[in-house]
Structure formats: structure tokens, C-alpha cells
Amino acid sequence: MFDVIMYDGGVYRSEELYELIEDVGGVIIQKTRSAQMLTVTMSIPAEDRKMVEAFCIEIGGEIKPVPLAGTEIAIVGPTLGRHHMPHPICDIAEQLRRYGAVTVVMGLARGRGKLTAQINLQEKTIIDEYDAAVFSLGNFKSCIEAKTDLFKDITVPVVLVSGPMPEGIDDTCEAIVSGVGRKTSRMRTAPERAKLEEIADAVETILADRKKVLEEDPMFVHPGEIKQLLEEYEPVNMCLRPAPLTLHLDGLRVKIPYDEHHEYIENMTVYGRKLKDVCTIAPSKIDDSSILIRIKTRSEIEYEDARKVEKK
């Protein structure tokens, strides 16, 4: 199993750190350098964690846990109107970013109201592109209980954040965090900060379970390895969008148009195999703005290989 940690320190002997990460079979998820300071988010095998941590301390840095690193999470509100934005949706997104996740804030087109709230298929498929979704609803129990249609068909794990604790809807989402609701100001008091941590912890627990499930049938390659491969592809290198390569638990998002670049990406090779053989490569549902790569598991690839041999 891989652990994600963050090195926070100076650039002194950082080349040795990169070599060590490579030697233990880990990957660098994100590297940010500011003058002489450096932060490196890395994914390393759990059994080598102590050794890497000891080396980080030896070179004068410190280790910070980033339990949600390598994930992309959608925070969804009923709309992007001033009733729901920027608080508490942006506060939740900020907290998840502090835990290492890449976040996206989304508003539904017709999510407001009790009797008229709805979600369409396109919105559902967009939310399903992420590793998890956090739905933020309002202050009335009867209203929240009537709006389960918004998230019950979402296939990725959903954490519901609400004002009062709803009853009888536990089967429609993975976790419910109550005590937030509609807000007009920033969540800055101690109880509110604690509530934000509770939300982030709920997301962390759910994604930790998901990681365990993925470990049972491991992916053919770690998403970080494909990230390293794609970093050298010029359109990605030239892309000015934030985090042009965003890791997911079972793949990654490449923020360049699908139509222009999918052929090149499909024919890249990893461990002697074409990427199209070991991954599913599809356009994102958000205006063809990015490419979604989902890495197949080893058993999937073995099965496909066996089928090919049979056909011959």
C-alpha cells in the first residue's frame, strides 16, 4: 500500500530525496519551490515510509500528513447563487485543500427549492468524474430529506453536509455531517473550524476505505507514474490551467482537449505496453476540456490478455 506524505523544507540535498523516492518505487505527486523553500508531496510504499521520513528530517525538513493528496473532490451546492456561495461551500473546499485534495466547486442548474429541486444526467456524470462529492444543503430537515434525489444516483462516495440531522436517508450517501447549513459569513470560530475538520475527516475515512478496496486488486501502474510520463508531453507542459495533471485514486485527469491529443496519449508506452491497453481514456463531460484516464487493474488486463489469446 502507498502512503502519501509531504516534505516541507529547504532545497538542500533535494536531489537525493528525489532519488530516494525513485529508488523505493514511489512517485512525486506535486513539487512546489519558492526561493530556497520546497514542498514535495510524494506517494511512497508504506514499508519505506519510516526511512524516507528519517531522510527528510536528516536534510532539515519536516513531514506533514496530507491524507487526501492524490484525490480530486467536488463540492456541490444547490446553485452558485449568493444564498449558498461563498459560504459554506468555499470554506469546505478550502479545508479539503488543506488536507491535500484538489477541489472543484459546482452548483447545480436547478438544485434550489424543495419541490422543484432536480439534477440532470449531465450533472451526475460530471460529478461521477471525481473521487468523491460533498453535497452542501440547507437549514430545514424536511427540505433536506426531500432532496435525496440530488445525490442518491451518484456512483462516487457522497458526504452530505447539512444543518439539522436528517432522518431515514442514511442509505443514500456514505456519510452525513450536520450542524453547518446556510451561512452568510466565513466559518472561522472554533466550533465551526472543528466542524470543517469533521467534514474533511469523513471524506478521508471514506476514501481510505476506497483505497483499501483498490489495493485488493491493484492497478497496472500507479497514477503517479503516468503523471511522470505525461509531464514530458509538451501540450501538458505548456498548459496554463491550474494543476494540468490531477491525480485520482484510480487514474488521472489531463487538462488538455481530448480530440486533439487522445491519439498521442493512447500510443504512449508504459512498461512495454500502450497506454490504451492498460487504461480507459475518455473525454471529460465538461465541454471536452480534459481527458480522463482510468487505469485498469491487473486482473482486468490479465483477463483481456487471455481473451486475446483465445481469439487467436
Partner 1 sequence: MDIEVTCSEPFGADSYKALFEEIMSDIGKSDFMDKAELVLKPDIPLFIFSVKLKTEPTNMKISDVATVRSEGDSVFMTITDERHAPEMLDQLWKKYGRRAVEQQTRFDIIVRGVKDSEIRDMVIASGEEHMKEIVGAIWRSMPEGIKVRHTYIDGMVITVVATEERIEPYMLEEAKAVHKRMQGGAEDV
Q: Does 166 bind partner 1 (CB under 8 A)?
A: no
Q: Which stretch binds partner 1 (CB under 8 A): 9-17, 49-57, 110-118, 284-292?
A: 110-118
Contact letters (x/-) for partner 1, 169-188, by CB under 8 A?
A: ------------xxxxx---
CB of 176 to partner 1, least distance (A): 14
Could you say which of 45, 86, 164, 257 contacts partner 1 (CB under 8 A)? 164
Nearer to partner 1, 83 or 308 (CB): 83
- Nearer Cβ to partner 1 (109/213): 109
C-alpha 123/C-alpha 117 separation (Å) is 13
Q: What is the C-alpha to C-alpha distance for residues 174 and 135, in angstroms, rounded to an integer?
A: 11
Instruction: Say if residues 29 and 43 touch (Cβ distance below 8 Å).
Output: yes
Confirm or reject binding of residue 113 to partner 1 (CB under 8 A): yes
Nearer to partner 1, 50 or 82 (CB): 82
Strands 132-136, 158-161: pairing kind = parallel
120 is a site residue for partner 1 (CB under 8 A): no
By CB under 8 A, residue 97 contacts partner 1: no
Evaluate whether 237 touches 228 at the Cβ level (below 8 Å): no
Q: Is 189 in the site for partner 1 (CB under 8 A)?
A: no
Nine-digit cell string for 280 = 480507459
**Which cell numbers hold the place of 197?**
475538520
CA–CA distance, 122 with 282 (Å, rounded to integer):
15
Footprint (CB under 8 A) of partner 1, residues 15-54? none
Residue 22 is which amino acid? E
Alpha-carbon span 312 to 310, nearest angstrom: 5
The residue count for binding partner 1 (CB under 8 A) is 25
**Smaller CB separation from partner 1, 77 or 100:** 77
H or E element in which residue 281 lies: strand 279-283
Question: Least Å distance between CB 151 and partner 1?
Answer: 17
Q: Which residue stretches of 99-186 are H helix?
A: 121-127, 141-146
**Using an 8 Å Cβ cutoff, are 52 and 21 in contact?**
yes
Helix and strand numbers (H, E) in the chain are 11, 15
Under rule CB under 8 A, residue 10 binds partner 1? no
**Shortest distance, position 172 Cβ to partner 1, whole Å:** 19
Pick one of 4, 68, 106, 143: the residue that binds partner 1 (CB under 8 A): 143
Q: Collect all residues with Cβ–Cβ distance below 8 Å to 202 and sequence separation of at least 6.
A: 159, 175, 177
Binding test (CB under 8 A) with partner 1, winner from 24, 140, 225, 289: 140
Residues 53-82 that bind partner 1 (CB under 8 A): 78-79, 81-82
Binding site for partner 1 (CB under 8 A): 78-79, 81-84, 112-117, 138-143, 163-164, 181-185
